[in-house]
Structure 1
Amino acid sequence: MTALASAKADTSGTRNRKPTTAGTSRRRALGKRGLEPWLYLAPAFIVLIALLGYPIFQLINVSLYDYRQAQVSGKAPLQFTGLENYQKLFADPEFWSVLGNTVLFAGACVVLTLLVGTSLAVLATRLRPWVRTALFVVSLGAWATPAVTGSAVWLFLFDPTLGLVNKALVSVGLTQFSGYSWTYDKWSAFGLVASEVVWCSFPFVLVTVYAGIQAISTEVIEAARLDGASMPRIARSIMLPMLRPIVMVVTIQSIIWNFKIFSQIYIITNGGGIAGQNLVLNVYGYQQAFAASLYGLGSALGVIMTALLMIITLVYLRILKRTGEVL
């Protein structure tokens, strides 16, 4: 009886150990599967850390010092000032004025770029093939034009005396534009720069949104037409909801690009306009870092710009996630 009981005990113990061993193996397999995607992403993470992490670390590091031309040349030692550069910026009314200019200017450029690009993308779906091809060729030509070249062309077109735009306006009876300077007034200068920015930015939205429209099933559109829906209603109620992930991408890209514009503002307004009325954060940071040799203050501006862009992007993604969009 004792031997039989011990045999049963051994058998039951073995049976109890089998599920434990199987569960451990399963957990190990799941752990390996969970680790596998990160192993594939590891090279990309390493590249990102090397290309982005170290420069951002250096930018933050410089912003914590009184870093001027004397420190660059080695004639004076570095002096750690902590958050003093940030305190100077937040206490400076000009910084808040420039920040307001940047937000308004970037917001207007983003809205106009999305409107123009999306409208042309919808229009392209209804054009003949050769007309659509011509539209894409012309648009991609504007997109491929360097910012410096485009700004120089814009300056020539809107020149007060030789510009074709002023001559065309005068020829139709608008004599007040004879010798009119588009860069003298603050808002007309911003409008001039915004028009050039939209001109060279909308092709990205056009091509991306058009590709998304082409991916929409034609059966869905035809069913809506059979139900009597007009094209604007189809675009608003069917196409736009299906294009939200693509619109999200182009919106974030446009916010980042337009928020950190430098070349167009600097060239068209000649460094920020009269008395700095057309300054944006990027141009203001350039003036502080290189014109005034206040590298620590310029670095602090760079850190603030990076933080603002990250906050805007995260808030936008958070809103989309709450609405149930797939990111």
Structure 2
Amino acid sequence: MSAQIEEVAADPAPRIGKGGAPPPRDGKGRASQGVPYLLILPAAAATVLLLGWTLVKNGMLSFQNLNPRQLIQHVTEWNGVDNYTEALGSSDFWSVTGRSVVFTAANVVLIMGAGCLIGLLLARLGTKLRLLLSLGLVLAWAMPVVAATTVFQWLFAQRFGVVNYLLDSLGWHSMADYNWTSGQFSTFFVITVLIVWQSVPFVAINLYAATTTIPKELYEAASLDGAGPWKQFTSVTFPFLKPFFLATTFLEVIWVFKSFTQVFAINEGGPDRLTETLPVYAFVEGMGNQHFGAGAAISILTIVILLALTAYYLRLVLKQEEDEL
């Protein structure tokens, strides 16, 4: 016993690991700290190769005067910031930018509103009805964008479209052969319905999943205090799910703002280029007019504008969180 006491006294501060086990060696500790970085390395490398290099090449192209003549002659003509000054000095660019912002705001409001209502409905339905509605939402969400756009083109077709047939049957005979892509507002209406239909399942399913994390005791306490459904939503559901609303709105702003396939496939930005958003405008100027440098510059400006919008939104979110603290 005295020998053991002397041994402990020789080492007055023995190192004890977690749970009484000996602590890990320094080399093993450093190795374990590097494991998470090794795990994300493949994804980071793929992102850099697929997105980073493409962005760099597009940025280099935006400083060039690249037309079919330069492509045929294999000549690189650097023109500095001429493509950017030309785009920023164009009234068409700012008109399309304002249109894109309004289009994004309208779609995001409709998506979040409809998605939240359906998500709350899922939380109140029985098991069978919830499963049926969830299956329909998943099928709508999983449909490829091009396929969904083609279906909506058939639905809103001028001569044999289902929408025109139903409206005619309900008494609106002037809609029998209505051309939905003949005007700016009607074309945007079709595109908006398509984008909202594709985006609502994401919001609804995620909202329902988030509602399952709310303790039921909070609703019981609210009901005992005499709170109705609306009061329970404003005092329990919304405050608890506020981070979800903020994050989902942020994702929807990005997704809607960069939508290209739906806008271009419905009417290629027509009629008279009145439904072009920034991604479609960049494509038409670059590929359609074969001024590839100008198209690249517009795409870079689109990214900058999207970053500015998201930065402003994140600033509002952070400011609101600071006020709550």
The within-5 A match list for 1:197-212 is 197-212=195-210
Task: State the secondary structure of the residue aligned to 1:160.
Answer: coil
- Within a 5 Å distance, the mapping from 1:230-269 to structure 2 comes to 230-269=228-267
Cα shift at 1:37 = 7.7
Structure 1's unaligned 5+ residue stretches are 1-28
Q: CA deviation at 1:129?
A: 1.0
Q: How far apart, CA to CA, are the structure 1 residues paired with 2:37 and 2:146? A: 39
1-structure distance, mates of 2:35, 2:298: 34
After superposition, the C-alpha distances for 1:66-125 in whole angstroms (9 at most, x for unaligned) are 12223333x052121111101111111111121122111111111111111111001111
Whether 2:214 is the aligned partner of 1:216: answer yes
What pairs up with 1:8-23 in 2 under 5 angstroms?
Answer: none
**Whole-angstrom CA distance in 1 between matches of 2:224 and 2:151:** 48
Counterpart secondary structure, 2:60: helix
2:49 matches 1:50: yes
Deviates more, 1:240-249 or 1:126-135: 240-249
Label 1:47 to 1:146 Cα distance change in 2 as closer, same or farther (>3 A): closer
- 1:122 maps to 120
Quote the Cα distance in structure 2 between the aligned partners of 1:149 and 1:71.
36
Higher mean displacement: 125-134 or 167-176: 167-176
Mean Cα displacement is larger for which, 301-310 or 196-205? 301-310
Residue 135 of structure 2 corresponds to residue 137 of structure 1: yes
Out of 145, 148, 154, the residue aligned to residue 147 of structure 1 is 145
Q: Which AA in structure 1 matches 2:238?
A: L
Q: Which residue of 1 aligns with 2:299?
A: 302
Code of the residue aligned with 2:62 in structure 1: it is S
**Residues in 2 aligned to 1:163 and 1:39: alpha-carbon distance in whole angstroms:** 54
Q: Secondary structure at the match of 2:294?
A: helix
Say which SS state the counterpart of residue 216 (structure 1) adopts. coil
Pairing 1:286–2:259 present: no
Q: Superposition pairs for residues 123-202 of structure 1, below 5 Å?
A: 123-202=121-200
Measured in 1, the distance between the counterparts of 2:193 and 2:53 equals: 36
Unaligned 5+ runs, structure 2 = 1-25
Secondary structure class of the residue paired with 1:182: coil
TM-score (norm 2): 0.84
Matched to 2:261, the amino acid is S
1: CA distance, partners of 2:321 / 2:102 = 29
The runs of at least 4 aligned residues of structure 1 exceeding 6 Å deviation read none
Distance 1:195-1:82 versus aligned 2 partners, 3 A rule: same
**Matched residue count:** 293
Report the Cα distance in structure 2 between the residues aligned to 1:176 and 1:254, rounded to whole angstroms: 36
Normalising by structure 1, report the TM-score: 0.84
Question: How much does 1:47 deviate?
Answer: 4.5
